[in-house]
Chain A
Amino acid sequence: MAKTISFLQAINEAMAEEMRRDSSVFVLGEDVRIGPFGQTAGLVKEFGEERVLNTPIAENAITGVAMGAAMNGGRPVLELMFCDFTMLAMDQICNHLGQWRYITGNQYAVPITIRTAVGAGFRMAYGHSQCLESQLLQAPGLILVEPSTPHDAKGLLKSAIRSDDPVVFFEHKKLILGGVEGEAPEEEYTIPFGEAVIRKEGKDVTVVAFGFMVYEALNAAQELAQEDIDIEVIDPRTIVPLDQDTIFESVEKTGRLVTVEEGRIRGGLGAEMAALACGDYFSLLKAPVQRIAAPMVPIPGSPVLEDLYLPNKDSIVRAVKRTL
Chain B
Amino acid sequence: MISPIIVPKLGMTQQDITVVKWLKDDGERVDKGQGVVTIETAKVNYEIEAPAAGMVFELKKVKDKVKIGETLGAVADSAQEFEAYKSSLSQEPEDGVGLIFDETEAEEGVRLSFEDETEQETASAVSAAGLGDQLVLERIPFVGMRRTIADNLVASLQSGAQLTVVSETDFTELAGFRREFLLDHGGDKITFVDMLVKLLASVLKEFPIINSTVMGDEIISWGEYHIGVAVALEDGLVVPVVRNADQKSLVAVSREVKMLAKKARNNQLEPEHYQGGTFTLSSGGKVEVDFMTPIINPPQNAILGMGKIGPRPAVYEGKLVIRTLTHLCLTHDHRVIDGVPAAMFLGRLKQIIEQPELFRKILR
Chain A interface residues toward B at CB < 8 A: 1, 244-245, 248-249, 279-284
Digitize B6-39: 1 where CB-to-A-CB distance is under 8 Å, 0 elsewhere: 0000000000000000000000000100000000
Kindly specify which of B58-66, B96-104, B246-254, B285-293 makes contact with the partner chain: B246-254
Closest B-chain residue to A283, C-beta based? B247
Q: List 22 A-B contacts (CB under 8 A).
A: A1-B31, A1-B53, A244-B255, A245-B255, A245-B256, A245-B259, A248-B252, A248-B255, A249-B259, A279-B249, A279-B251, A280-B249, A280-B251, A280-B252, A280-B255, A281-B248, A281-B249, A281-B252, A282-B249, A283-B247, A283-B248, A283-B249
Digitize B43-55: 1 where CB-to-A-CB distance is under 8 Å, 0 elsewhere: 0000000000100
Most buried by B among A1, A245, A279: A245
**What's the Cα separation between A283 and B246 when bound, in Å?**
10
Closest chain A CB from B195 CB (angstroms)? 15
Closest chain B CB from A204 CB (angstroms)? 19
Interface residues of B in 235-275 (CB under 8 A from A): 247-249, 251-252, 255-256, 259
- Say which size band chain B's interface belongs to: 10 to 19
Contacts of A282 in B (CB 8 A): 249
Closest A-chain residue to B259, C-beta based? A245
Closest chain B CB from A80 CB (angstroms)? 28
Contacts of A244 in B (CB 8 A): 255
Contacts of A1 in B (CB 8 A): 31, 53
**What's the Cα separation between A245 and B255 when bound, in Å?**
7
Contacts of A284 in B (CB 8 A): 248, 252
Closest B-chain residue to A280, C-beta based? B251
Closest chain A CB from B75 CB (angstroms)? 15
**What's the Cα separation between A1 and B53 when bound, in Å?**
9
Closest chain B CB from A239 CB (angstroms)? 16
Contacts of B249 in A (CB 8 A): 279-283
Which 6 pairs show the lowest CB-CB distances between chains A and B?
A280-B251, A245-B259, A283-B247, A280-B249, A280-B252, A281-B252
Closest chain B CB from A241 CB (angstroms)? 12
Q: A245-B255, A245-B259, A248-B252 are in contact. List 7 more A-B contacts (CB 8 A).
A: A1-B31, A1-B53, A244-B255, A279-B251, A280-B251, A280-B255, A283-B247
Contacts of A245 in B (CB 8 A): 255-256, 259
Contacts of B247 in A (CB 8 A): 283
Closest A-chain residue to B250, C-beta based? A280
**What's the Cα separation between A211 and B247 when bound, in Å?**
33
Closest chain A CB from B191 CB (angstroms)? 16
**What's the Cα separation between A1 and B256 when bound, in Å?**
35
Contacts of B251 in A (CB 8 A): 279-280
**What's the Cα separation between A249 and B240 when bound, in Å?**
15
Contacts of A280 in B (CB 8 A): 249, 251-252, 255
Contacts of B31 in A (CB 8 A): 1
Contacts of A281 in B (CB 8 A): 248-249, 252
Closest B-chain residue to A187, C-beta based? B31
